[in-house]
Structure formats: structure tokens, C-alpha cells
Amino acid sequence: MASCYFVPIPTSSHLISADLSKKFKIPKLIHTKKRYDGSKVTAFYGLKTPPYELDALEPYMSKRAINRHWGEYHRNFIEGLNRQLEKDDILYGYTLDELVKVTYNNGNPLPEFNNAAEVWNHDFFWESMQPGGGDMPTPGLFQQIEKDFGSFTNFRESFIGASLTLFGSGWVWLVLKREEKRLEIVKTSNAICPIVWDDIPIINLDLWEHAYYTDYRNDRAKYVDVFMDHLVSWNAATERMKRAEAFVNLGEPKIPIA
């Protein structure tokens, strides 16, 4: 458990991009809090920028849509979380992953959970897309998908089916299950992030209406199709799978030969 005397400096992945901060007039997000001895500590999280220009996903996701989604909704989750953390010394000093898991509180979420998880989910979502995305997964990941879903077509249909049957707001994920050692598609409601169950996320898709209303109005099906065909980053998915394989052995045990 983190101590209230810990001085949490946000990780580099959560530092604010100076250029984009200026564009959107993002107010100072790094708060200070007085220690019990009267000195101040720097705390909390900043708004992570998407890994591409905000118009780079056009025409499939417009700059106007990302301006609203990232610049307003995502920022509101960050600011809401920071306001909550200002009042709570116990939650100082965690990485964002740790904060999501701790505030999930074994299924009895603390008030900070929704904002923390939505920050995590959105950071992951922006990096789950790329300009020129869609197409087919890279070799290796493609074979793993074929192994676990029967075919890429089956995977695609399952992912789309899960997205269209998700009730209300939430997310659809391609995850690697640690125990089962296989890829699966999971749906989560509202802010729930599958790292709370120890799944390893590979791809996620935001299915809150704010994610697609600007470009597609109520046509969730069109949005999901466009994501699969033009936006999903199989490069990011491949890198995530490589990292995941440090924790999950997907092949036969490899015994080093002396």
C-alpha cells in the first residue's frame, strides 16, 4: 500500500504533450498537495496524447470526433480522477494499472474506479488504432487468431457480434487469457477493464455512444465495421502479444539446451 509520504511523479506515458495542450487549452493537470509537514508534493495523472495527429484517422474517424472524444471526454475522466485523488491520501503513488486494480476492490469498486479505468481504457484505445489500420493481422498473431477462433473470419464475426450485442455503454476487447493460454473476446460494461480479472488486453473498442455519435450518429454497426476494416492497429496488437508472451507461454515449453 502506498504511503501518503510517497512523492508520485507521473510516468512519462502520462505527461502532457506541450503542443497539443496548447491547441486545446488544457489547464494545468499536475496538482500539488500539502504534506503533513507543510511542504508540497506533486501528484496525479496527465492526459496522454494519441500516438498520431488528430486528423490522421480521417476519413474514418474525424478530427472533430477525436477533438470531442479525447479533448473533452477523456480529459474529463483525467480531471475527475485528479479531483478525487486530491481528497484521498491512501491512493497516492500507484501506477495507473495498480490504481485500476486497487480501486476495483475485488468487485466492490471505490468511487475512483470509474475515472481511473476510463483513463486506462482510453489510453489503450487510442493506441489500438493507427492510420492505415485494418487489413489483416501480422503473421504470428494471425496464426494465433486462427488457432483460437478457427479462422480470421470467425474472429471478425465474433468481435462484431459482441460489439453489436453489448447492452448500453461499454467496451469490447480481444484479450489473452492467462490460465487458458488463448485469445478470447470479452465485453465489459461501463468502465470495467479486464486487467481487473488479470486478462491481458490486446485490442479494445470504445462502444460508448460518445465514441461514434459525431461521425456515425446511432449507427454502431457502421462504426464497428470501419474500426475492423480501416482503424484497428494490428501492429500495436502484435507488440502487445510479444509482451504478453513474457507472462503466457503459448507454445510448447522451451527447454534451454546447454
Binding site members for Mn(2+): 69, 122, 206, 210
Would you say 58 or 209 has its CB closer to Fe ion? Answer: 209
CB of 121 to Fe ion, least distance (A): 7
Residue 156 vs 210, nearer CB to Fe ion: 210
127 near Fe ion, judged by CB under 5 A: no
Closest CA to 129 of 68, 199, 88, 70: 70
3-state secondary structure of 161: helix
Instruction: Enumerate the H helices of 113-171 as residue ranges.
Output: 113-126, 141-149, 152-165
CA–CA dist 148, 146 (Å, integer): 6
Minimum distance between the CB of residue 163 and Fe ion, rounded to whole angstroms? 14
Amino acid (one-letter) located at 232? V
Extract the C-alpha cell encoding 9.
Answer: 511523479
Piece of the chain touching Fe ion by CB under 5 A; list 7-15, 95-103, 165-173, 202-210: 202-210
79 touching Fe ion, by CB under 5 A: no
Question: CB within 8 A of 134, min separation 6: which ones?
Answer: 227, 228, 229, 230, 231, 232
Between 114 and 144, name the residue whose CB sits nearer to Fe ion: 114
- Of 41-49, 148-156, 198-206, 229-237, the segment contacting Fe ion by CB under 5 A is 198-206
Distance CA 21, CA 68 (A): 14
- Cell matching residue 91: 491512493
Q: Of the ranges 22-30, 156-164, 203-211, 244-252, which one interacts with Fe ion (CB under 5 A)? A: 203-211
Residue 213 Cβ, how far from Fe ion at the closest point, in Å? 11
Q: Does 206 bind Fe ion (CB under 5 A)?
A: yes
